[in-house]
Structures are given as C-alpha cells and as structure tokens.
Structure 1
Amino acid sequence: MKNFFQHIKFKYDIETCITLKHYSKEKQKLAKQKQRLIYLLTCRDYGLTPKHLTNTTIKLSQLFTTQRILNQVSKIEQKLHTKILNLEITQTNLTIKTIEKNIIHTNNKIKSILNEYEYKTFTTKQTYLFNSITAKTKLTHSSKIDKLKEKLVNQIGITFNEEWFVNKTDIEFPNEVKWLLSLGNKFALPITSTNFSPIHIIADIEQAIQSIEDDSEKDVSRSKIANKISDYKRRFKNTQKERFILKVHKTTTQFLNNHKNTIIVTKADKGNKTVIMYKKDYFDKMNTLLEDKNTYKTIRVDPTQKLQATNNTLVNELFKNEYIDRFQKNKLHCSASIAPRLYGLPKIHKPGLPLRPISSSMNVPCYSLSKYIGTVIRNIVSENYNIKNSFQLQEKLKDITLDDDDVMVSFDVISLFTNIPTYLAIKNILKEWNIIKDHTKIPKTKFLKLLEFCLRDNNYFQFDEKFYSQTYGMPMGNPLSPTVADIILDNLLDDTIEHLNKIGIKMKFIAKYVDDIFAIIKLKDIDTILNQLNSYHNKIQFTIENEHNNSLPYLDLLIHRENNQIIYNWYAKETASGRMINFHSNQPTKQKINTAQNFINKVLDLSDKRFETDNIRKIKTILKLNDYPNYIINNLFKSRTEKLKTNLNNNNNNNTITKSNNNTKKFFSVPYVPKLTDNRSLHQIIQKENISFAHKSNFTLKPIFTNTKSKIQKQQQHNVVYEIKCNGKKNENCDLVYIGQTKRNLATRLAEHEADIRKHKETTGLSQHITTSGHTVDFKNVTILDRERKLNTRLTLESLRIQQQIKRTMNTKEDTDSIKQSYAVAI
C-alpha cells in the first residue's frame, strides 16, 4: 500500500495522496464506530454497564459509609449509567452518519481522479482493511461483553447447571442459550410491554368481581382495576435482571428458529431435564415404535366424530333412563372432541435414547365419561395394598421388625398399561359387581357397554397426521386406565397371596404404588414368589430388585435395615436432576418459598435423624442450583426449627384452643404481574375476605420448546374467541369485523354462521350486516383471538375484544351489553 501511495503522489499530487489517506482513515474509523455501536446496543439490551461508565462514577460510593445511603447512590448510579449509555448510542449513531457522508463525498472525489484500475485496486484494499478491523474490534468487544455478562450473572445470582441440558446433537449451543433452556418449559418470563395483556388480566379479575353481591362495590372495584392497569402501563419498567433474561430469551428464540427444521427441544422422560435431539431421529424412533404390528395398526379415517356421536347417544340414554341427572348429563356430553395425540419423551438414562410413547387424551370423545366410570369402579380398589405416598408406607411399616432370613424386595411390572388385555380388565371389574352396584344406578348390561366403549372403541390416537389403533392393552392417557391397572394388580396380588398361603409361604409385608410393589419376604421364597407373580398372565411380567448392603430404594425412600429394625433416608434416583421452580422465574415469591419449604420438610420428615446433616447439605446444594439466595435458604431452615419448637410446645400444652374459620373462600385464577396482580394489590382492589387469588404464569418458555404433538387445525379449535372480517363487495371495501365466542369446534360455529347468512336469518350482527349490505364474509381467514376454557371468562374476553374495536365491529347492542365502560381506559 505504501508503494501505491508513492505511485499516486508521483502520478498525481500530494493533495490526491492526502485525500486517499483520509478516505482510508474514515473507513477504519467507520469499522470501529459500527462495532462500538453494536457493543453499546448489546450492553443496553442485556442491561450491562460498560466498564468506562463504571469507572466514571466509581469514586461516588467512596464518599459514603451508611448502607442505606449507599443503596440509594447505587440506584442513582444505575440510572445515570443508563442515561449516559443512551446518549452514547445516540452520539455514535450521529458519528457514523457523519463518517458515512464524508466517505461518500471523498469516494466521489477519488473516483473522478483515479482511473478504473487504480480505483478498483484502492477500494478493494480498503474493503479488506475494513473487514479486518471489523473482525478484530468485534473480537475485542465480544470479550468485553462476555466479561460483563459473567459479572452481571454473578451479581444477579444465576447458576448454570450443565447436567440439566442434554444435547444429543452435534450443534454447538451458546452458553446463555443452554442456560435458559436448562431451566425448563415452565420457567416464567418477566412481563414486558409486548406480552403484557390488560384484557386477560381484566377478564380473570372480572370473575372475582362478579362474585360480589353489591353492584356499587362491583363498579368501584372495576374502576380501581382500570386505573391501576393504566397507571401500571405508564410506570412499567424492567429491572436489570429482567432485561438480561429477556435478551437471552430473544437470542435463544433466534437461535432455535435458525435450527427449527433440524432439531427438537423437549423434556426428558425422567429426571426433569431439557433434551435436544435431531428431528429426524425423533420421528425415526417414533415410527419404529409404531411398526410393532402386535400392538398398533393404522386406520384409514379419523373416528373421532363418530365416537363423539356414540358417546352422546350413550349419555342421553343414561339421562333418559334416569341413571344420571341433568348436571351429570351436561358434564358427560361432548361437543368439541379431538383425537388423542401421541408423542414421545426421550429416556436419557437408557442407551440409544429410546422414546416413551405418551398419549395426550384431553378432550377425546370419551374423556369425561371415562372419568365418571373411573370414580365408580374406584370403589373396588383394595385398601390392603395401595399406598398414596412414602409417608403412608412409613406408617404401615412402623410396627414391622425384620428377622435374619427376611429380605426386602421390590417388584416392577414391565409396561403395565399396554400389557393389560381389555377382556381381562372387564372381567375383573364385573366380578366385583356386587360392590359396584351400590355406587351407581346404571344396570350391569349398560355398564358393560360403557366399559367396552371407553376401553375398546376409544383405543386409538393420531401421530404425524396419521391415525392408529392400539390393538392390545389399556388406552394410553385414558383417565380410566390407571384405575383399571390398580384393579388388575389387586386381583393379581389376591390370587398370588392365596396360592402362596396354600403352599405355606407367608409374606410378612406387601404394599403397592401404581405398578411398583414393595415386599418383605423370606430369602428362600424369592424365586417362588416371582414365578407366581409372573404366572398370572403371560403379558403381565415382573422384574425384581433385591436389597443391597442392607438397603433398598422405593419411591423417594432408601429403606435400611439396622439391627432388625427399619430406618429411612430420603432417596433421589440417579436420573433426578433436582430442578424445581427457579428463584428467577417470574412467579410469586410466596410460591417459590413454599416450594422450597415443602422440599425441605419432605426430605427431613422422611429421613431418620442420623442422616439430617448430610441431607441438609444436599438440600442446600439443590436450592442453590435453583438460584435460591443463601439468606432465604438459611431463613427457611430457621423457620422450620422454630415451627418444630412451637408445635412441640403446643402438643405439651393441654389448654391449646384451635380456632376454626367457617368462612369458605372462593379462589380465582389470575396472571401474576408484580405490583399489579400480587395478593396485596388485588386485595386493595377487591376488599373481600372470602375472595382469594391463585396466580398463574401466562408467559413461560413453553412456546420455544418443540410441540411434538400433532397440530390441532384452526377449524378444530374450541373454547375460543374469534374474529371474522367482512370482504365487502366489488368496488366496495369494508373494514368491519365480527367478534364471537364458542365452546364447540370453530368449524361447527362457522357452519352455523354460513347457514344463517344463506337463509337470511338475522340472528347475529354478522348475518344482519351481510344480509342488509350484500357483502361477503372471509370465512377462510378467521382469526382466533383467545383460547379460554371457562365460559364466563370467555364471555368477558369477547366483550372486551368488542370494546377494543368498538368503532369497527358489526356486533349488535345485545352482543355488547356486558361491556363495562369503566374498562375502556385500560384496554
């Protein structure tokens, strides 16, 4: 380049040479300024404070010693840094524009002086130099960003546990993306101006307001919530921690979108971990499972609508014959069913990453009927063997002592649900008809028909746009299947114990949780008992686990034998991750504290005192991995100690009086928005002691996890608020819309709208508008605005959506009677 400038100086003049060098310096300056802008913008997006800004105010904190004042100084510093950072971004943008103008001007000047070859040689070299400086500056700034991120992460108290993120692909994930995905799909994101939805908050709170009897109180509460929402929108601002999480979420979303055709993001079958696997591998494994002709077969058509009609016919017959009342009839009636959808969860603890098939059976044709039948036959489930949890097992074992020749074992059924024959299930249920008939008015023949309908006819599912029938076993996901499994295993154990007693074999103790059996038996009888269990049915087979080193894991207990006595310790499987609600998740602090406290109580209450020190260490490790601060962890243990002392004193005090509260509380679910819908804020709005709120999280990581279930088409969606646009007519545009709601499938409701228009029935604002104007309706592009299962909340959402577009809706006055004008200011 030096020789080139000498050439230019010799051929032209010194001024030309100066112009070229000025162009070169401006290009280099532009490269640096552009990277600086990216650096400053990244700092702002992540809520980072560049070091040069920190250094400008570092001496401020040295002027004060009082912690309260230092906290105030820190807030002022943060605000100052943010303002200066914004000014720097503005200044850098202006500088870049100035440099770009200078470059354009200089470039035109050079182009008019140099010949084509000289100009191309010079600009090519400058482009290379520009890219080189850009790469070098980018590397420097990236290093600074990484250090600032690390500093902020430590300051916020974020922990990344790599064990929670299982990557089964060759794709390299950025650390911050791995961190966010490792938190799981239930992690709740901070509220932003984009995802903040006043309409949904109002719709949920309105249900609580409607429970107030006094109309004037209702209006006061509505005004309060509207004003509070308006004020919140004006004052809303994310904290530094929230800005960091939101930026990582944006980065993660972009990264996953770049790989959406290649990978799936899901959760592990066991252990509560996030798993990344290739999409092709997932579908190959699922299709291999479905190729098992002994268990599945393909079916040509979707039987859902036919089964829905059969379900409703059966329910109507039950009502007509007065076997059920009208309330039960309405509950069991199905109007918006969908096919069960199969998906798989990876078993990361097994070689080859096999998938566990799971059927999502909510809203299938027989779902409600199966639940109803399940509650009836639940009465024949034996209480002799079944336990609800580890505490109940401890209670049953409290008087048991072990002999030297006793051994603790656990039996586990291999794939229980898919191996129970339908005929065997029905046979065992009807065998107990003398008990069942006391809990239902339905006669035996009709009850048999219902059982066959729920267990045989509805044993199908959808996967990857294809439909399959499960030819053997209980329907996966059907709410009736777990109860049937309990009944089968109860009968199996009854038969086994009866046979063992005949040949002189006694089992000292036996208990069952679903398909896991815990038993204390004689060492010499192990093989005989296992063989007898496996003889019940060739498809229902057991594996056995013997005690090792005088202990056996069962549920979340490690059961020890010591001097012929049984003692317990908390047990977590090797696959268990320890992941729970993260402290940085945008959920009420009380929920997080209760989760941690319940975990502490469970571990320590299940365990013998001698294991306490080791368990406390484990608990603290797990809570720290979930980002719980040390001071909260210490306070939780302190609170437990104080509570135990209080309970001990109360037990020793015979004069303790327990006060009972006869007021029944009504609970209402609302989205959690800090300083707006927390309990304190809501009780300021609705001042009723009998009304309480349960918070839910509407904005979680779930949308960025892959939905591996077959997609439900728009026309099949139900419990929705929808919007229909008017197409106008030739040479006449129309901007009006119709907003409605339906519990049934959207296709059914749209067909009714079409029929009304065709028959000129002016039953809705839509049919009135089309009939009188001669316009056409855009039924192909109907928009689903909201999905809401509860009718009253859905009606409120409909009203609010109409109010939101009041100037362009064709809805009639009858549609908007429930609109509350006091909400207009908030939406």
Structure 2
Amino acid sequence: MYKIRNNTLQHKQKQLRYINIEINTQNSILNHYFKTSQPTRQHQDDLRWINKFNENFENKLIEKRDKKIKTLKENQVQEQSPKPQTTKTMNSKITYDTSNVINISKIHLSQEQLKVISKGLKFVPTPRSINTITTVVNCEKSLFSTPKLIKSAAISEISTFIQKWRKPTKFNMNKEETKLLKEIKSIQDIVIIQADKGGKIVIMNKNDYFNKIEEKLNDLNVYEQVKNDPTIIKTEINKKVTKMLKQNKITDQNKYYLTSIDDLPKIRGQPKLHKIDTPMRIVTCSRDTITSPISQFIFRIIKELRTTLSGVVCNTSNFIKIITDVKLNQDEHLASLDIQDLYTNIPVNKAIDITLKRLDESKKLDNLPFTKTDIKELLILAFTYGNTLSPILADIYMDEYQKQHLHEVNIPNKIWRYVDDILIITKMNKTQLDKYVNDLNKIRGTIKFTSEFEQNDQINYLDTMLTKTIINNETILKIRWFRKDTAADRLLNYESSHGKSIKNNIVKNMTTRILETTQDNIDQQEDLNKLRSMLLKSNYPLKEIEKLIKQTCQEFKSNKNKSNDKNDDIAGQIKDKNNDEFICSLTLPYVPGMEVLKRRLEKKLKIKLFFSYP
C-alpha cells in the first residue's frame, strides 16, 4: 500500500516538474520574442496573463472594481436627489421635429425632453411584465356568464400564455429616454395634455390648467355643486336594479353586470389652441365607472332611435356618399353653424322626455319587459356627460330643436349635422347669415351658435374641403381631404408597443379615407404624399408605408366597380355573421406576442379578444 502511494506521489511530482519546465520554456521564448520584436516597449507585465495570482495584477483588478463601485454609488445618489425644474440641452446642435408639442408653460424643456414627449401621449413603452391583476379581473368580469367549460378552457389558455411569456429583449425606449421621461414626470409645476382639436400635445402651467377648469365649473348655469355624498348614486342603482330583479325584468347576470363597478367619473380639460386666450373644454371620463354598465344597457334599448333622425351624418365616409350627388343653384352658398359646448348645454330632463316620446312612438317597449317609468329612472341614473348615452341623447334633442327653430335652413338635402357641426346650403349671404345666427342666439335656452361663411366658394367641414365647381352648367361640389392648420402631423408612433394590426390599419384607413374623399387624381397624389410625410414623422418605415398604401390602393380600385349598396349589404352581413360567431368578448392589457393568444381564443373557443393600452 505504502509503495503504491509513494509511486503515485513520485509520478505527480514528475508531472508537475515537466509542467514547470514547459511554463519556464514558454516564458523564456515569449520574453525573447517580445524583447527582440519590440525593444522600446516595457516588458515587465507582458506575461501577467499567465499568472493570475500576480500581486501587481490583482491590485489593479481591485482598484478597477473599487472605481466601478464608486461610480455606481454616485449615480444612485444622483438619481435619488430632487430633479431641477429646468434642464439644459444636452447637445444644442441636435435639432428634432417637435412641431406637435406646444409649450405654453413657464418651464423650459430641452430638445431631448421635447423629443420624448413628441412620441405622443398614446405612446406605450414596451411592457416588462404582464398586469396579472387586471387580467384576472377582466377575465372574471367578461367570462362570468359563459359556460364553465368554456371559462375553464379560456383561463387555461391565458394562464399558459402568462407562464410561457418572456420579457422582451428589445425595448422601444433606451435608458437615456427613460431617464428623460422620469425627469419630465418629476416636474411638479406642469401638466401635459392633448389639445382639443388637431391632436397636438400641450404643456401648460398646472395652476393655469386648474384655474381654467375651475372657471368653467363655476358657471352655475351649466354645473351644479354636489351637496350630498356622490357615492349615493351606487345605492340608488342597487335599489333600482334589485327592484327590477324582483319583478323578473332582469336576470342575476344583468344585476351583477349593472352593479359591477364602483368608480366615479372624473373630468379633465383640453385647451382650445385655435381660440383666443386658450379656453378649456371639459371632458368627462366615465369609461369603466359606476354609470358605464347602466348607460350601455340603456343604449342597447334606445340606439334604434337613430333611424328617426334626419340629416345626421355618422362619419366622413357617410357624408361623402350623401354629398357627392348634391347640386346647387347659382344663388346658393355654403355655410356652417357650430353649436357652442353642445354636451354641457343640453337640457337633460327635456332630452330624456323627447327620447321617451320617440321610444313610445317606435313601439320598441312593446317587446320589452320595461315600462316608460323604468327607462326614465334608468336614464336619470345613467346620464352623465361623456358616457355612452351623451351622443345619442344630444342627437335626439338637436333633431327636435332643428325642427322647431331652424325653419329657414332646415331643408331636406340642404342641411347635415355631425354632433355639433351643421353644414347648410342657403340662399342667405354673409350679412343675412350673421343676422340669422344672432336671432337664433336670442332664443331662450342654452343652445348657442357661431357661423362660418364660404370663402372663395370653399368651406371646410369635418375633414373635407368642399369647393363649388361648375361643370356642364351645373354647380356641384368638389370634395378633397382636408387637414386643419392646428392638426398635428403625427399618427400613432410606429415604435409604440401596440399590436402590429393596429398600426397597419391606421395606414390602410387613412389611405382609404383619402381615396374616398379626394376625387381629383393629382390632388389625390398630393394628399397621399402628405400622409406619407405624417407616417414618416411617426417613425413608420418607408418600405412598410409604400407596401400598405399600394395594397390599399389596389383593394380600393378592385372594389370601386362594385355596387356600393351591394358592398354595404355584404359588409353588414359579414359583420353580423362575425359578431354571431363569438360567444363573448374579453379585453386584456396588451403585451408583445399576445396575438398568438388572440388567435387561439377566437378560433378555438370563439371568444373575441380585444387589447387595452395604458
């Protein structure tokens, strides 16, 4: 045993001696090579990479590490320290296109900060995690009434996706931009909001913002200060819904849906840059608030009343179809009327009474378990400016107002209204129109008008420019796509963490709108070039822009020869068919890769998945 051990030790020693000889030989060769080839160079540290435990080399590593730790600590202290109210430009030579950002505050922001803001208020940084809480809440809420088997399968699919999901390796904001964004958020004296029209981004002093909002809210003719606890509306809704449940007018599922949200509506302001002193428009944010479910419930009942409205325009495409074949007499002019602050000036009780009257005339309630009293009570509980009911109730009221007071201009095929904008074809000149509007504003009530008369046979309405043109002794309207001067030349930023289909549809829809609106081929190309410029400023790749525009033009051209009515019928049938295919809908916070989950839920379980964004 001892002999074996001694032999082993001798063998190891012999191996070690050979290794040392080899190392020394290599050292000698390398030293000789370095000194011969580079005689002027210092050679004392040439071979330190061979011996990692060289004391001199180890000290240098320690020194380097200490220096790195010191730098990290200094950066941490700097980040935790309060940020200054103003920042200097990092590189004044670099200029960015920040024309969509209007700074009317007293705080100076650098070009780099403005560049970050110019990405847009809808810009979504790449998510680094999945909002599990919102996902669970939305699943329980949306899948409440679905069969247990479908619900379990859907939850299983979503859970699997969450478990397999990995944080993206690429982000749409670098460290410098993230740091700049934090700096902007730390400035307490400003608010960053969207302008009322045009989509530009406005930076305001916070005090000015609140003062302008309070100035609006202090108008007692429009707003009333709440004297009781505002949460009492929750009690009223529960009381009414429970009563309807006991009367077997609704189901348990309806009751759960109608009482599922407790949050109260909020308000925000949007500055009107196109007006003097930049007044504020009040916007009520009632989405996913206490009145949302009940207003949506009532909307499904009264939405068919839109068929009773005359001269109401749904959108630009609908307006173009209507106005294309209109012919004018030589003594007729184009003019527009604008209703001032429509939603806040609609008399609520009167609008509800008119709605109930038309609902009764339509015999809609004959097939429903609800009485007029039920609908009235629900309307009173649900109606909040800014919710789902506001547009339709405003349309119904203004339709009645138009019939009662706008006799001189309320001529079929000569008047069209979109929300608060009215286009008229009239024989009045500008002076007569001004007098007519002045007389309208003397009518007792809260509805007031402003007017605009044609200039050089042109007038702008919605996002179209209408020009009177004489062809074959007939006066017709030439239509062209129009962008206001106050409009931002940006769309959704391509780098934003939105679904690819959303970005593609933006290009396709904008292209289609231009093709539908602008009739002249030369003007059409000019408008498409404007769109290209907007998309490039929104960071869309040029190849992607050209590909989508070309594809849309080809599709539009192939469909142009088909009958519009036939297309509408087919589109309506397809839409109804698609809606019937799905059992329910579900909304989840978007993260990259969720398109796979969308396809699985829609094809496998027939659950329509929508994406939400912060």
1:175 to 102, 106, 111: 111
- Select the residue among 286, 308, 319 that pairs with 1:393: 319
SS at match of 2:416: strand
Q: Given the alignment of the two structures, is residue 485 of structure 1 paired with residue 485 of structure 2, yes or no? A: no
Task: Decide which of 166, 169, 182 is 1:237's aligned counterpart.
Answer: 169
Distance, in Å, in 2 between the alignment partners of 1:91 and 1:405 is 96
Corresponding residue of 2:262: 337
1:182-213 Cα deviation digits (max 9, x unpaired): 22232121244xx45688789989999x9996
Match of 2:539 in 1: 627
* 8 Å CA contact retained: 1:671, 1:677: no
Match for residue 604 of structure 1?
515
CA RMSD of aligned residues (A): 4.3
Cα distance per residue 1:333-353 (max 9 Å; x no partner): x25423332322222233333
Residue matched to 1:124: none
1:613 to 2:525 alignment: yes
Moved more, 402-411 or 632-641: 632-641
Give secondary structure in 1 for the equivalent of 2:364. helix
Number of aligned residues: 516
Q: Which runs of 5+ in 2 are unaligned?
A: 1-57, 70-87
**2:221 maps to what in 1?**
294
Q: Which amino acid aligns with 1:341?
A: K
Choose the corresponding residue for 1:568, options 479, 496, 504: 479
- Out of 330, 347, 350, which is 1:404 matched to? 330
Contact 2:265 2:290 in 1 (8 A): no
Equivalent in the alignment of 1:553: 460
2:581 to 638, 649, 664: 664
C-alpha separation between the residues in 1 aligned to 2:333 and 2:485?
24
Distance 1:280 1:645, change over 3 A: closer
The alpha-carbon distance between structure 1 residues 670 and 172, as it changes in their structure 2 partners (threshold 3 A), is same
1:406 CA drift (Å) = 0.6
CA distance in 2 between counterparts of 1:299 and 1:584 reads: 44
Cα shift readout 1:283-316 (whole Å, capped 9, x = no counterpart)? 2222333333433344454232x22222222223
Deviation, structure 1 residue 689 = 5.4
Q: Secondary structure at the match of 2:219?
A: coil
Distance in 1, Cα, partners of 2:156 & 2:233: 49
Q: Is residue 248 of structure 1 aligned with residue 165 of structure 2? A: no
What does residue 51 of structure 1 align with?
Answer: none
SS in structure 1 of the partner of residue 456 of structure 2: coil
Cα gap change, 1:280/1:93 in structure 2, threshold over 3 Å: closer, same or farther? Answer: farther
Q: Distance in 2 between the 1:687 and 1:377 partners? A: 30
CA distance, structure 1, for counterparts of residue 195 and residue 65 of structure 2: 51
CA offset digits 1:497-523 (Å, max 9, x no partner): 6x549xxx9565111111211111213
**1:424-503 to 2 correspondences below 5 Å:** 424-432=350-358, 434-435=360-361, 437-439=363-365, 440-454=368-382, 475-496=384-405, 499-500=407-408
Query: Counterpart of 2:37?
Result: none
How far residue 568 of structure 1 moved from its aligned partner, in angstroms, is 0.4
Q: How does 1:123-162 map to 2 (within 5 A)?
A: 160-162=96-98
2:380 and 2:205 map into 1 onto residues whose CA distance is 39
Map of 1:777 onto structure 2: none
Q: Deviations over 1:254-287 (max 9, x none)?
A: 312442x322222222222222222222222223
Residues 696 and 373 from structure 1, CA distance in 2 versus in 1: closer, same or farther, beyond 3 angstroms? Answer: closer
Structure 2 partner of 1:580: 491
Instruction: Check conservation: 2:416, 2:424, Cα contact below 8 A.
Output: yes
Match of 1:821 in 2: none
Distance 1:205 1:357 in 2: 33
Summarize the Cα distance change of 1:268–1:641 in structure 2 as closer, same or farther, 3 Å threshold.
closer
SS at match of 2:174: helix
SS of corresponding position for 2:477:
strand
Task: Quote how far apart the aligned CAs of 1:492 are.
Answer: 1.5
Per the TM alignment, residue 405 of structure 1 is displaced from its structure 2 partner at its CA by 0.4
Amino acid at match of 2:264: A
Query: Structure 1 pair 329/224, CA: closer, same or farther in 2 (3 Å)?
Result: closer
AA in 1 matched with 2:535: L
* Change in CA separation of 1:436 and 1:368 when aligned onto 2, cut-off 3 Å: farther
1:579 Cα deviation (Å)? 2.3
Change (3 A) 1:430 1:605: closer
What is the aligned partner in structure 2 of residue 185 from structure 1?
Answer: 121
User: C-alpha distance in 2, partners of 1:218/1:294?
Assistant: 50
Q: Which amino acid aligns with 1:561?
A: K
Give the direction of change, closer, same or farther, for the CA distance of 1:408–1:423 in structure 2 (3 Å limit). Answer: same
Instruction: Give the letter for the 1:248 counterpart.
Output: E
Which position in structure 2 is the counterpart of 1:779?
A: none
On the 8 A contact 1:407/1:547 being kept in 2, the answer is yes
Residue of structure 1 equivalent to 2:18: none
Tell me the residue number matched to 1:802: none
The one-letter amino acid of 1:295's match is V
- Whether the aligned pair in 2 keeps the contact of 1:417 and 1:485 (CA below 8 Å) is yes
Q: What is the alpha-carbon distance in structure 2 between the residues aligned to residue 203 and residue 447 of structure 1? A: 30
* Kept after mapping to 1: 8 A contact 2:346/2:446: yes
What amino acid does structure 1 have at the position aligned with 2:555?
A: K
Is 1:359–2:264 an aligned residue pair?
no
State how far apart, in whole Å, the 2-side matches of 1:599 and 1:384 are.
28
Query: Alpha-carbon deviation of 1:490?
Result: 0.7
Please report how far the alpha carbon of residue 494 of structure 1 lies from its aligned counterpart in structure 2 after TM superposition. 1.5
Q: 1:396-448, CA deviations, whole angstroms, 9 ceiling, x for partnerless residues?
A: 22332111101111111112222233343244334436315533443344544
Task: State TM-score, norm by structure 1.
Answer: 0.54
Partner secondary structure for residue 266 of structure 1: strand
Q: Work out whether residues 492 and 533 of structure 1, in 8 Å CA contact, stay in contact via their aligned partners in 2.
A: no
Task: Give SS of 1:585's match.
Answer: coil
2:556 pairs with 1:637:
no
User: In 2, distance between residues paired with 1:218 and 1:380?
Assistant: 37
Q: 2:124, 2:534 → 1: CA distance?
A: 19
In the TM superposition, residue 619 of structure 1 has moved relative to its aligned partner by 1.0
Q: Work out the CA distance in 2 between the residues paired with 1:540 and 1:692.
A: 44
- What's the counterpart of residue 43 of structure 2? none
Distance change >3 Å, CA 211–CA 488, structure 1 → 2? closer
Shift of 1:615: 0.7
Question: What residue ranges of structure 1 are gaps of 5+ in the alignment?
Answer: 1-89, 102-141, 151-158, 456-474, 703-827
Q: From the superposition, tell whether residues 245 and 430 of structure 1 become closer, same or farther in structure 2 (CA, over 3 Å).
A: closer
- The Cα offsets for residues 715-747 of structure 1, whole Å up to 9 and x where unpaired, read as xxxxxxxxxxxxxxxxxxxxxxxxxxxxxxxxx
Conserved in 2, the CA contact under 8 Å of 1:550 and 1:560?
yes
